[in-house]
Amino acid sequence: MRALPRPFKTIKRPVESPKEPDVKIRRARAGWSSYWLTTAVLVIAVVLWQAVSMAGIFPAFALPSPVAVWQAFVEIAHNGYGGQALAGDILISCFRIVIGFVGAIAIGVPVGLLMSRNKVVFDIVDPFLQFIRPVPPLAYIPLLVVWFGIGELPKAILILVGTIPVIIIGTMSGVKSTPALRISVARTLGASNAQIFRRVVLPSAMPEIFTAMRVGIGVAWTCLVAAELIAASSGLGWLVQFAGQALQVAIVIVGIVIIGLIGYAMELVIRKIENWVVPWREHN
């Protein structure tokens, strides 16, 4: 009796996962590609700016060339402007930003957490929050100057008042976006409310909180420059305003570029901290 042929067995080959060094190499290449693209765009923008300046489309005093702006930067970096050193203006503005922004985080995150977890706290704070949020920061400057003078306190308060609504709303949004399934699983495993908050809710809210911080740092600089334009005798906002009154457009552009670079650097610092604190989130 002939033996029946054995059916062919399908051999399943294990799916090879990409090796860790290959992933790191691809990410490094993507990072370098992004870096070179950004650099190329900036170089092209500067070249176009120089071309427009050389073509005389705008008067030289209205649109100085990049070379003139660089010369103005070198001049004020060595000799200062308006009796103030450039390094001193940068340091005092950064100090004001750090004080007001850290204060907004220290107050806004706990308040946002409480508002998202307690209806009574929400009903008490929300009317004030919705009242403060649409009012532009410039509207508060006269009151703060009258109440606190032109020292450092009113500037820190203005930054805090302008930034704290962003932090509170971002924190509440993060808490409310916590998947209900995670909370249900934690309760099934016997976790207490405190453990659920500490191990589930807070980690789930952290990405939104850091997003609010990244938005808030831009708002903080807006508030600071607004305050220094009116009630200050030093700082980058004061530098822009003082140079603008003298029609020193090159120095005005220097101040604007420095503010933009420092604000961008602070946003990068927040992004790096986010990568460390929230490693499970996809980052660009």
Q: How far apart are CA 71 and CA 113, in angstroms?
A: 49
How many structural domains comprise the chain?
A: 2
Closest CA to 214 of 135, 272, 279: 272
- pLDDT, tens digit (0-9, with 9 covering 90-100), for 49-82: 888 888 877 777 778 888 888 999 999 989 888 8
Which token pair is 209? 């909180």
Domain assignment of residue 231, yes or no? yes
Whether 31 and 153 share a structural domain:
no
Q: What is the pLDDT of residue 8?
A: 46
- The angle at the Cα of 54, spanning 49 to 55, to the nearest 5 degrees, equals 100
- Listed residues 57, 77, 108: the one ending a domain: 57
First to last CA, the chain: 68
Same domain, residue pair 53 and 138? no
Integer-rounded Cα Rg, in Å, for the chain is 27
Do 229 and 94 fall within a single domain?
Answer: yes
Confidence (pLDDT) at 265: 92
The whole domain housing 227 covers 64-277
Q: Are residues 83 and 136 in the same domain?
A: yes
Low-confidence ranges of the chain (pLDDT < 50): 1, 4, 8, 11
Helix (H, G, I), strand (E, B) or coil at 84: strand
- Specify the CATH number for the domain of residue 101: 1.10.3720.10
Contacts (Cβ under 8 Å, ≥6 apart) of 115: 121, 122, 125, 126, 168, 172
Q: What global pTM score does this model have? A: 0.78
Whether residue 5 is contained in a domain is answered as no
Domain assignment present for 42: yes
Reported residue count of the chain is: 284
Residues 120 and 40 grouped into a single domain = no
